[in-house]
A and B are shown apart, each in its own frame.
Chain A
Amino acid sequence: MSKGFTPSPATPAVITANDLRMGHCVWMRDGAWTADPREAELFEDEAIAELALLDAIAQANIVVGPYLAEARRGPDGRPQPTHFREAFRRRGPSNYFHGKQAEFEASNV
């Protein structure tokens, strides 16, 4: 969980939640939701991030518990997690090849 940070170019953020019907992790992009963390939108501006979070909270019939999670911009420009909890949410459990790692068959999710 990422607390106590302000989205900025130095500390970008993604908005993430769980899908209401299915429960899996989702990330926000252009006001909609994707199950692929590599597609998540990076927020580098505090005001824009807060507005987007309000929008996410308003989509309570689609997702549960949206929050801002700290991220970093990877070499390919896509978001990467900064905390191990977010890394696990993107990948799935370590004891089985289940969750996102199986969904996307890509070890570098």
Chain B
Amino acid sequence: MFDARPQHNEYLRHRAQQFRQQVERRLDGSLTEDEFRPLRLMNGVYLQLHAYMLRVAIPYGTISPDQMRTLALLAEKWDKGYGHWTTRQNIQYNWPKLVDIPDMLDALADVGLHAIQTSGNTIRNVTTDAFAGAAADEVADPRPYAELLRQWSTDHGEFQFLPRKFKIAVSGGKKDRAVIAAHDIGLRLVGNDKGELGYQVWIGGGLGRTPLLGQVVREFLPEADLLPYVEAIIAAYNLSGRRDNKYKARIKITVAERGLDVMREEIEAEFLRRREAFTGVDQDLLAALKSLYAPPAFRNEPEGDYEQRRAADPVFRSWTDTNLSAHKQEGYASVTVTFKAPGQTPGDASAEQMRLLADLAERFGHHDLRISHEQNVVLPHVHKSDLFAVYQELKAAGLATANAGLISDIVACPGMDYCTLATARSIPIAQDIAAHFRARGLEEEIGQFNIRISGCINACGHHHLGHIGILGLDRAGVENYQITLGGDGYDIPAIGQRAGAGFPAEEVVPAIDRLIDAYLELRESPEERFIDAYRRLGVAPFKAALYPADA
């Protein structure tokens, strides 16, 4: 299986060399674009609106400081000085030249990173909770399982030409932070009544043009059966998934058309056959991965002047209120560094910012960094006595915006500023909304809020899961934005419902503004979030706010 340690990797060098030769053959005319396209996609290389784009996998969002510095090097040497965190824990470079990409892949190979299977109809980067191994509510650390899945799925011969792309997420918390219900396969680590660890297995979730929440296909799968069971699901889908229509090819459609029971029957039968073939090598590997992801040597020390600093500095206090998460280890917290400062493109990180985070992780964070699917970066393990120092360095770099989980912490795809599939722009809409509510000084009063924006129906911005979702479309040659309400990617997974007719770009902010005013008016207490009020009251009052002329 694929060796995934964060160090020089001969196999990845070999793959980069293969790609170098493929590029040469494309340039000298030996390969047509039709022949070359699937080869470049296998290596994460897209051709976008203004340039090529390279998508690099950050396995389940976990990255070491040296790897982060290599991402910075790529941004500086072969791009325009920055990269873009995606909603699937990848990084995208927007401006590479095709002729430079083999060199970029070589540099990545030297730290064990790659772009394999970040595109194409294969098993994509396995994603998980950015707080894995740190969250106070964790049942088990999902990373060993995510890594096992990655090693197994990388270059898996049977699954290179699936009917369509395939996304797996693993969640280890009592609270799901990996959007399990929106994945082709979602795995929740759970315990059974005998105290054994296993997985609740979901299949058939996905967003895109036909958003569907997944369903539980197996309530409890024993820990040791992970690979044969996942293999059985994908093998069943590989046979029965539709190849006649790209828009009906995802497993969510297979499950919806054939029914969960039919799929379950096939999966269980296939599982029995597949399990025979597993000799236990996977369990040896899993045991090794568990020790690889053993908790770091946490410090058992007092919190220092943390509370005094909080009391003395209201801006620091505000940042600790919004950007820290509860840690399983006493004296520690997880820090969310948002890439959503005023005016910033959601998820864009400069090379300097990446290097700063690498340094902070080494000095204060047990050498650990995570990329979250909200397009932020997490320092999972920071001792409270170090928080003020971390905050000050972040602040100096413009990275201490106290808005994690607030209305300006907007998830947005690149939209038509970069993407060739997009039907409208996302980034300026996100920037305008964030700037507006900051100017009104309402962010903290509004509280926990989730806006997600996609620039086309493919839904990379996960707009269906936003409390407010915004979908950019082309209506007769003009950018137009549909608003969906009531989506949730966390506590109670829900697909947002379209509120009504779309808005031209300049009317989006006023429309959201009316919604927020209505919410502030209607909520029972400051603790009642927008989504809670929406669930209590239904769509009517919010629809009336959006479309006052119809009311």
A residues near B, CB below 8 A?
18, 20-25, 60-61, 64-65, 82-85, 88-89, 92-96, 98-100
Contact = CB atoms under 8 A, between A and B. Distances in A.
Contact of A24 (B26, B51, B417, B431): B51
B99 A21 contact: yes
B416 interface: yes
Contacts of B477: 82-84
B418 interface: yes
Nearest to B348: A95
Interface in B86-142: 94-99
A94 B417 contact: yes
A6 to B, nearest CB: 17
A13 B431 CA distance: 34
Contacts of A95: 345, 348, 417, 427-428, 431
Contact of B98 (A20, A83, A93): A20
Contacts of A65: 33, 47
**Which of A22, A88, A95, A100 has the most B CB atoms < 10 Å from its CB?**
A95
B51 A64 contact: no
A23 B98 contact: yes
B29 A61 contact: yes
Contacts of B1: none
A60 B98 CA distance: 15
**Which of B27, B52, B97 has the most A CB atoms < 10 Å from its CB?**
B52
Nearest to A63: B33
Contacts of A23: 47-48, 50-52, 95-98
Given A20-B98, A84-B477, A92-B50, 7 more contacts: A21-B27, A21-B99, A23-B47, A61-B27, A94-B427, A95-B428, A96-B80
A99 B80 CA distance: 10
20 contacts: A20-B98, A21-B97, A22-B99, A23-B48, A23-B52, A23-B95, A23-B96, A23-B97, A23-B98, A60-B29, A61-B29, A83-B477, A84-B416, A88-B49, A88-B416, A88-B417, A89-B49, A93-B427, A94-B417, A99-B50
B478 interface: yes
Interface in B499-527: none
B444 interface: no
B318 interface: no
Contacts of B50: 23-25, 89, 92-93, 98-100
Contacts of B29: 60-61
Given A83-B477, A89-B50, A93-B417, A98 B97 contact: no
B270 interface: no
B370 interface: no
B479 interface: yes
Nearest to B32: A60
A93 B428 CA distance: 10
B425 interface: yes
A92 B80 CA distance: 13
A63 B449 CA distance: 45
Contacts of B479: 84
